[in-house]
Structure 1
Amino acid sequence: MITQSTELRNAAARDAAAIAAIYNHYVLNTSVTFEEEQVNEAQMTERIAEVQQAGFPWLVLLEQGEVLGYAYASPWRLRSAYRFSAESTVYLKADLSGRGYGSQLYMALLARLKELGFRTVMGGITLPNRQSVQLHEKCGFAKVAHFSQVGYKFGQWLDVGYWQKLL
């Protein structure tokens, strides 16, 4: 449950270990990310810096100093005509879904992207993933694409859907 002790701020290098721990749960135990090897603190520090240096937001949600989750945006595509479009990512500690933290993070990320002049946000979801679909749709995204069997993890072919929101 969201409380007054919740803090939302830009991610910093000091958050990298906590962010990596959150993400590595999904890498090792789920197919929501197609990454198959754990990410260490140094690698996560680099990723945070690259996103922020490119002018995109990376936010962390904390409660009493503990990182509960994170959200960031990255380029949708590299060609210059796509410069007003972004791809979004949100991850929470595994035991926190359904408490409103994901919505809080996502809405803050979308607001920041709008302030920065972005027009479109895309969210890719490995399917099936009811919780992520619900989060995206709660935040105003609509499904715009479905790609069959584009990823292979844990011995199975996986589909990916894309949800889009105009800001």
Structure 2
Amino acid sequence: MIRTVTLNDAQAIADIYNEYIVHTCITFETAPVSPAEMADRIRTISSTYPYFVYEADGEMLGYCYAHGWKEKQAYRQTAETTVYVKKGHTGKGIGQALMQQLIDASQKAGLHVLIACITYPNEASVRLHEKLGFKQVSRFNEVGRKFGQWLDIYDFQLVLSE
């Protein structure tokens, strides 16, 4: 079941996200996020942008949201996307279902473009976004450093309306 996030989801979202922070280069954050900090992020983001969670049998298995891409006012109809699926539950269509809900809600909210910033390599995320119609528009080399290695990022773009 996909539903809108609540502040009560902060612990479960922090648990999912912290697994990626501690064990992968998929996120450039390097320190785990507390449930209180995650609640603050949820409060801020969900007040302006769509934010969804995926639950099955009372367990949160993933989440996604849109958030501001750049601060200047002219970018107000462009948003960056974020999607994470709990370890052990990837490859089951959860990310795709969440992202499709996010795309639909973003379009209804009047957003024009969604941007996905994907760390290289992350072929699963690349395939997911391409399946949803995102197109690669840039690659930035060695812009992040984590676990002693330089990391590249790809930007993928989806134009929602003409």
User: Is this a same-fold pair by TM over 0.5?
Assistant: yes
Cα distance between partner residues in 2 of 1:138 and 1:40? 33
Q: Distance in 1 between matches of 2:152 and 2:137?
A: 14
Fraction of identical pairs, as percent: 43
For structure 1, which runs of at least 5 residues remain unmatched after alignment?
1-6
The runs of at least 4 consecutive aligned structure 1 residues that moved more than 3 Å come to: none
**Residue number among 44, 48, 52 corresponding to 2:46 in the alignment:** 52
- Are 1:70 and 2:85 an aligned pair? no
Q: Give the alignment's TM-score, normalised by structure 2.
A: 0.97
2:32 maps to which residue? 38
Letter of the aligned partner of 2:39 in structure 1?
T
CA distance in 2, matches of 1:14, 1:49: 11
Aligned-partner Cα distance in 2 for 1:40–1:9:
22
1:93-135, Cα deviation, whole Å (9 max, x unpaired): 0111111111000000000000000010000000011101001
CA positional deviation for 1:57: 1.1
Q: When the two structures are superposed, what TM-score results if normalisation uses the length of structure 1?
A: 0.95
User: 1:14-52: per-residue Cα shift (whole Å, max 9, x none)?
Assistant: 111000000000000000000000001100000000001
- SS of residue matched to 1:91: strand
Quick check: 1:119 aligned with 2:126? Answer: no
Cα RMSD for the two superposed structures = 0.6
**Residue 19 of structure 2, aligned match among 15, 22, 25:** 25
Render the CA deviation track for 1:40-93: whole Å, top value 9, x for unaligned: 11000000000012x101100001221110000101111111111000000000
Distance in 2 between residues matched to 1:63 and 1:94, nearest whole Å: 14
* Displacement of 1:138: 0.7
Aligned residue for 1:20, secondary structure, equals helix
